């Protein structure tokens, strides 16, 4: 086995080997390893290539903040996931991983040509380089940039996994299971409060997992951890969620959690969801997110083998892996010294500890010397060497006056760095909680809160273990008390704790040229200190602008390791203090989250509701082709014997005009308006006059918005003086009812009217064609169907096929027509009865396409297709539907606003193409002069366009500026193939005298 695994050390199971592959090569790790720790145990540091320069990169961290170590995981078809952080990816037998962003291979990458061209790719280089010539943008620049953009390969097939989601409520939600979070949960749990504790890691313990030597309450850290975890597990009121990330913190203590359920398993259990999104509403929240170590900024700080010191310590103590046998430590913070000591004690030869600070607490220096480690305090690091792994570092003494002395080279196989620690305030920032700048400590700390939340531990600047435990305990107890429980925090003591402090830095001093230094701030987006200073020189002063110009902090890691370094360099460059330069906004999710988790159950058939009519199943059996209309699926056309759509629609149109067609109109919105003031309410809502409409009569109703534009229309029947049966467009039903409710509840609460949606209570069968009456006459009871007794636009209640009906005589085709309303449960039975009885007339079911053609032939508009929210009744030639003598109705006042009366308003007209075979494209633009220069003046567009089987030619409706006055003129319609000409005509193409209706 490799020389980097320290047997017996760490929390991995040394007796359980795990076999996995990386780039096709077989490796062995231990149960409990991450991909990172397992590869490091095998001496592998080179894990990927950087985004812009394709520089070889290694593991920077040991946690979810990792910017470099992104890999692809392949678990079979559809289960390929790019950009997984190797530092949190748990290995299992058979795990198959690949590195990213290189070609042909990780070790030999053609894209690395970008690295020596470094000077070309500085901040804002996209904006500077791809400006001209303008014509290059579409064909040359954009395709190249798109090809180079992005990391990893997204899978091309649907995700076979399922994702769960659930709501939860609790008294206290604790985020983070480090020392502060654990005791917060423990103290809150003891009070009896309902507690949820979450941590992104598979194991609870946080920083304690990497610090076995600490002593808490006279127990070793790991024994204390064992005891505390057991105590929590024994509490029925505490829910423990490991492998769960708190991704976002929203209003009123609403927190999103993403729980990973199967990614760590070698065998995927059948039917188990891969992830579960928890939507938690907590009375109180304790944020114990911990802290993230800052890298140091110096030339070559990104080579494989250069790693955060605290992370090296985690690899050693938690995973039993030495990240090198000959490490150098470079730091400005005491904590890295502890990493050096641990490494030395595990058998590594620590070549040197380089501390930027001239003065380091004696305790550390003494201990280093006792371990035989050379210490260089007041030194800097000015470079590194090594192609696929660091082989040496270049260090220089810095005089008190800041002079950088001659360099010395130290050989090494790993470089452990620390620039201090940054409290993780991400979730606190999601709540718009205020961040206070602490100048002495050079960090932002949580300030005034906006939610019922508390921050505790390192995330609140309490880096000491004891102070962290104490703060966690009191936060947990206080949260329980605020949630209505009684609690008092227990006490926690830590033996012989050494408090670590440090100094903050920008780019480290160097004897080299700053303009050639590749001193990385943002590793994932390849942003250097030089880029940030360049952005400031070019005029960017706000951190939000600097961020977007340089892309620092904009990668998938969202700048977890880079934001503070970026800010302090930017603040130095603009010569303003950090707090006035500001911190960029943290936004959810905390770490990358799958789309699957957000989608949850709402995919495929469950993506949204499919509404089906009572007759839908019949249409399905007959092989109807469907189209979606709002949430409904509607039969589009019924194809017979291999007909294409055009043939089927032509047949359906012919049959309806010549004999008899039937159509499922059940999706029409229906609202029952009842009450003594029903007619008054109708008068106020609709443009038409309703007072004189006699019971038993129908009227076309037009509904405007208060702005005077057409909102909806439909045929409305008066059943008795106090009862109207209103129909609306299919898509407008809910909107119209909401609008009516609004006026009724808030403007006219004095009216005695009740509104009820009856859309789904009625099945509606539209029968159209010269034989419509002949079909239903023998089947109807209680209604005289003679033309004189039951003329066009009548309604009556009676029975059909033995069931109750509201029978409308109405037509949306221009033919003799009836709409048979029956209670929905009889819909299919009545439909079938009518279909059987209609066979002798060649009854033909038709779909929405034929309905559209037939209505367009008659110039009947479809609101939302022929109108677009800017069309007045006058524009649509519907002024006849306005009750001119009514004092008021919704939208009336707007109809006399000056803009509504202009002569050049766009008006609905008919169009006939010069070539009768040409069917214009709906949405095509209309111009008056086809020879004018581009961009042409567009005077309108085609709203409806069909092949009219009845006329044997194409027809179209269009809105055209001043259209009605242009009747007889020729307009032009540029389409991809050619520019077509058409004549403006009236809107009614078939039977303008309505002879076919009134028979």
Site for another protein, rule CB under 8 A: 250-252, 254, 279, 281, 432, 450, 706-707, 738, 741-742, 745-747, 749, 887-888, 892-894, 897-898
Beta pairing partners, 926: 940
Interacting residues of 202 by C-beta distance below 8 A, sequence separation 6+: 90, 242, 243, 264
For another protein, give the closer residue by CB, 118 or 743.
743
Q: Give the C-alpha separation, 475 to 180, whole Å.
A: 9
CB atoms within 10 A of CB 67: 27
CA–CA distances in Å: residue 701 to residues 500, 698, 819, 878: 79, 9, 17, 10
For another protein, give the closer residue by CB, 267 or 888.
888
For another protein, give the closer residue by CB, 392 or 894.
894
Interacting residues of 569 by C-beta distance below 8 A, sequence separation 6+: 297, 506, 507, 521, 529, 532, 533
For another protein, give the closer residue by CB, 259 or 431.
431
For another protein, give the closer residue by CB, 157 or 448.
448
How near is the Cβ of 454 to another protein at its closest, in Å? 19
Beta pairing partners, 164: 276
Contact status, residue 735 vs residue 714, Cβ threshold 8 Å = no
Beta pairing partners, 291: 423
Contact status, residue 503 vs residue 420, Cβ threshold 8 Å = yes
Q: Give the C-alpha separation, 716 to 699, whole Å.
A: 5
- Report the length, in residues, of the chain: 999
**What are the helix and strand counts (H, E) for the chain?**
23, 50
Q: Name which of 446, 419, 408, 409 is nearest 430 in CA terms.
A: 446
For another protein, give the closer residue by CB, 439 or 750.
750
For another protein, give the closer residue by CB, 118 or 254.
254
Cα-Cα-Cα-Cα torsion 230, 231, 233, 236, nearest 10 degrees, comes to 160
For another protein, give the closer residue by CB, 228 or 688.
688
For another protein, give the closer residue by CB, 288 or 740.
740
Radius of gyration for the chain, computed over Cα atoms and rounded to the nearest angstrom: 37
For another protein, give the closer residue by CB, 283 or 322.
283
For another protein, give the closer residue by CB, 281 or 654.
281
Q: What residue has token string 């409990």?
A: 32
Instruction: Transcribe 743-776 into DSSP letters.
Output: IIIII-TTS--EEEE-TTTEEEEEEESTTHHHHH
How near is the Cβ of 459 to another protein at its closest, in Å? 23
Q: Name which of 998, 980, 888 is nearest 930 in CA terms.
A: 980
Q: Give the C-alpha separation, 666 to 760, whole Å.
A: 8
Q: Give the C-alpha separation, 580 to 543, whole Å.
A: 10
How near is the Cβ of 897 to another protein at its closest, in Å? 6
Tell me the torsion sign for CA atoms 228, 231, 234, 240. negative
For another protein, give the closer residue by CB, 72 or 732.
732
Contact status, residue 928 vs residue 723, Cβ threshold 8 Å = no
DSSP 8-state assignment for residue 144: H
For another protein, give the closer residue by CB, 741 or 777.
741
For another protein, give the closer residue by CB, 222 or 889.
889
Instruction: Transcribe 328-350 into DSSP letters.
Output: EEEESBTHHHHHHHHHHHTT---
For another protein, give the closer residue by CB, 622 or 893.
893
For another protein, give the closer residue by CB, 640 or 897.
897
Interacting residues of 311 by C-beta distance below 8 A, sequence separation 6+: 59, 60, 61, 62, 63, 87, 293
How near is the Cβ of 736 to another protein at its closest, in Å? 14
CB atoms within 10 A of CB 8: 7
Q: Give the C-alpha separation, 307 to 44, whole Å.
A: 13
Q: Give the C-alpha separation, 914 to 927, whole Å.
A: 15
CB atoms within 10 A of CB 93: 14
How near is the Cβ of 261 to another protein at its closest, in Å? 24
717 φ, ψ (degrees, to nearest 5): -105, 140
For another protein, give the closer residue by CB, 433 or 553.
433
Phi-psi region of 864 (alpha: psi -120 to 50; beta: other; left: phi over 0): left
For another protein, give the closer residue by CB, 349 or 735.
735
How near is the Cβ of 276 to another protein at its closest, in Å? 18
How near is the Cβ of 604 to another protein at its closest, in Å? 22
How near is the Cβ of 896 to another protein at its closest, in Å? 8
How near is the Cβ of 76 to another protein at its closest, in Å? 36
For the chain, helix, strand, coil in percent to 5 are: 25, 30, 45
How near is the Cβ of 246 to another protein at its closest, in Å? 15
> Token pair for residue 612?
């089906």
How near is the Cβ of 323 to another protein at its closest, in Å? 43
Q: Give the C-alpha separation, 118 to 814, whole Å.
A: 73
How near is the Cβ of 887 to another protein at its closest, in Å? 7
Contact status, residue 947 vs residue 954, Cβ threshold 8 Å = yes
Contact status, residue 867 vs residue 710, Cβ threshold 8 Å = yes
How near is the Cβ of 601 to another protein at its closest, in Å? 15
How near is the Cβ of 742 to another protein at its closest, in Å? 6
> Token pair for residue 193?
């409060």
How near is the Cβ of 888 to another protein at its closest, in Å? 6
How near is the Cβ of 616 to another protein at its closest, in Å? 25
How near is the Cβ of 281 to another protein at its closest, in Å? 8
Contact status, residue 40 vs residue 33, Cβ threshold 8 Å = no
How near is the Cβ of 893 to another protein at its closest, in Å? 4
């Amino acid at each position: 086995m490799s020389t980097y695994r320290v047997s017996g050390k760490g929390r991995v199971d040394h007796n359980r080997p795990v076999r996995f592959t990386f780039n096709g090569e077989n490796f062995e790790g231990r149960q409990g390893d991450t991909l990172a720790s397992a590869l490091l145990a095998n001496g592998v540091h080179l894990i990927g290539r950087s985004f812009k320069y394709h520089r070889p990169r290694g593991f920077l961290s040991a946690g979810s903040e990792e910017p470099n170590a992104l890999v692809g995981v392949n678990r079979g078809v559809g289960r390929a996931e790019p950009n997984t952080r190797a530092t949190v990816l748990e290995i299992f037998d058979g795990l198959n991983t690949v590195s990213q962003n290189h070609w042909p291979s990780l070790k030999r990458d053609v894209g690395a040509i970008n690295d020596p061209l470094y000077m070309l790719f500085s901040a804002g280089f996209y904006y500077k380089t791809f400006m001209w010539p303008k014509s290059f943008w579409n064909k040359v620049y954009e395709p190249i940039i798109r090809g180079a953009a992005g990391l990893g390969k997204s899978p091309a097939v649907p995700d076979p996994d399922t994702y769960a989601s659930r709501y939860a409520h609790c008294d206290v939600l604790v985020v983070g299971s480090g020392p502060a979070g654990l005791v917060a949960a423990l103290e809150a749990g003891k009070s009896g409060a309902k507690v949820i504790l979450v941590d992104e890691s598979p194991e609870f313990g946080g920083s304690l997992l990497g610090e076995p030597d600490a002593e808490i309450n006279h127990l070793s850290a790991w024994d204390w951890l064992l005891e505390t975890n057991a105590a929590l597990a024994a509490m029925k009121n505490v829910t423990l969620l490991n492998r769960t990330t708190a991704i976002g913190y929203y209003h009123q203590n609403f927190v999103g959690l993403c729980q990973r359920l199967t990614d760590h398993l070698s065998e995927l259990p059948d039917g188990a969801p891969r992830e579960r999104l928890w939507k938690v509403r907590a009375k109180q929240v304790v944020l114990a997110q911990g802290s993230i170590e800052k890298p140091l900024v110096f030339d070559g700080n990104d080579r494989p083998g250069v790693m955060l010191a605290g992370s090296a310590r985690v690899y050693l103590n938690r995973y039993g892996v030495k990240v090198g046998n000959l490490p150098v430590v470079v730091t400005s913070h005491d904590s890295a010294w502890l990493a050096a000591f641990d490494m030395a004690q595990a058998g590594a030869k620590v070549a040197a500890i380089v501390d930027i600070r001239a003065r380091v607490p004696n305790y550390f220096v003494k201990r280093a010397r006792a371990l035989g480690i050379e210490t260089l305090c007041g030194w800097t690091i000015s470079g590194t060497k090594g192609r696929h792994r660091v082989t040496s570092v270049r260090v220089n003494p810095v005089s008190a006056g800041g002079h950088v002395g001659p360099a010395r080279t130290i050989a090494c196989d790993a470089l452990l760095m620390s620039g201090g620690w940054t409290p993780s305030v991400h979730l606190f920032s999601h709540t718009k909680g205020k961040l206070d700048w602490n100048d002495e400590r050079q960090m932002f700390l949580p300030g005034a809160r906006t939610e019922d939340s508390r921050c505790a531990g390192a995330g609140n600047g309490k880096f000491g273990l004891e102070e962290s435990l104490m703060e966690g305990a009191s936060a947990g107890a206080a949260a329980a008390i605020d949630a209505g429980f009684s609690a008092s925090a227990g006490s926690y003591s830590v033996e012989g704790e050494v408090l670590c402090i440090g100094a903050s830095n920008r780019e480290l001093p160097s004897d080299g040229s700053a303009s050639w230094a590749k001193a990385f701030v943002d590793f994932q987006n390849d942003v250097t200190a030089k880029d940030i200073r360049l952005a400031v020189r070019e005029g960017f002063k706000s951190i939000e602008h600097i961020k977007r110009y340089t892309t620092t902090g904009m990668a998938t890691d969202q700048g977890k390791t880079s934001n503070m370094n970026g800010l302090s360099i930017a603040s130095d460059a603009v010569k303003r203090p950090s707090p006035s330069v500001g911190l960029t906004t943290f936004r959810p999710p905390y770490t990358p989250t799958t789309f699957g988790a957000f989608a949850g159950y709402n995919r495929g058939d469950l993506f949204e509701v499919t509404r089906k009519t009572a007759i839908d199943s019949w249409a399905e059996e007959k092989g109807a082709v469907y189209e979606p209309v709002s949430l409904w699926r509607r039969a589009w056309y019924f194809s017979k014997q291999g007909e294409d759509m055009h043939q089927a629609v032509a047949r359906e149109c012919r049959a309806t005009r010549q004999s008899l067609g039937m159509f499922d109109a059940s999706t029409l919105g229906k609202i029952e308006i009842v009450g003594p003031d029903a007619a008054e309410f109708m008068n106020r809502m609709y443009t038409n006059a309703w007072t004189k409409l006699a019971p038993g009569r129908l009227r076309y109703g037009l509904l405007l918005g208060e702005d005077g534009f057409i909102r909806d229309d439909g045929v409305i029947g008066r059943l008795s003086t106090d009862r109207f049966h209103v129909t609306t467009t299919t898509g407008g039903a809910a909107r119209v009812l909401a609008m009516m409710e609004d006026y009724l509840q808030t403007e006219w609460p004095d009216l005695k009217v009740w509104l009820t949606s009856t859309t789904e209570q009625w099945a509606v069968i539209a029968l159209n064609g010269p034989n419509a009456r002949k079909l239903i006459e023998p089947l109807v009871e209680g209604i005289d169907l003679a033309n004189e007794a039951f003329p066009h636009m009548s309604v009556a209640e009676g029975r059909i096929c033995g069931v109750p009906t509201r029978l409308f005589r109405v037509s949306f085709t221009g033919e003799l027509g009836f709409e048979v309303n029956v209670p929905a449960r009889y819909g299919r039975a009545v439909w079938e009865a009518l279909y059987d009885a209609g066979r002798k007339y060649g009854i033909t079911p038709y779909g929405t396409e034929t309905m559209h053609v037939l209505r367009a032939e008659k110039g009947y508009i479809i609101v939302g297709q022929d109108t677009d929210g800017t069309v007045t009744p006058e524009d649509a030639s519907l002024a006849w539907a306005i009750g001119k003598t009514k004092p008021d109705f919704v939208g009336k006042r707007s109809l006399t606003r000056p803009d509504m009366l202009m002569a050049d308003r766009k008006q609905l007209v008919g169009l006939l193409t010069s070539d009768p075979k040409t069917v214009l494209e709906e949405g095509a633009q209309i111009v008056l002069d086809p020879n004018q220069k581009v961009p042409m003046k567009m005077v309108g567009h085609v709203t409806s366009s069909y092949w009219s089987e009845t006329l044997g030619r194409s027809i179209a409706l269009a809105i055209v500026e001043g259209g009605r006055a242009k009747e007889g003129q020729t307009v032009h319609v540029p389409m991809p193939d050619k520019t077509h000409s058409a004549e403006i005509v009236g809107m009614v193409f078939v039977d303008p005298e309505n002879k076919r209706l009134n028979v």
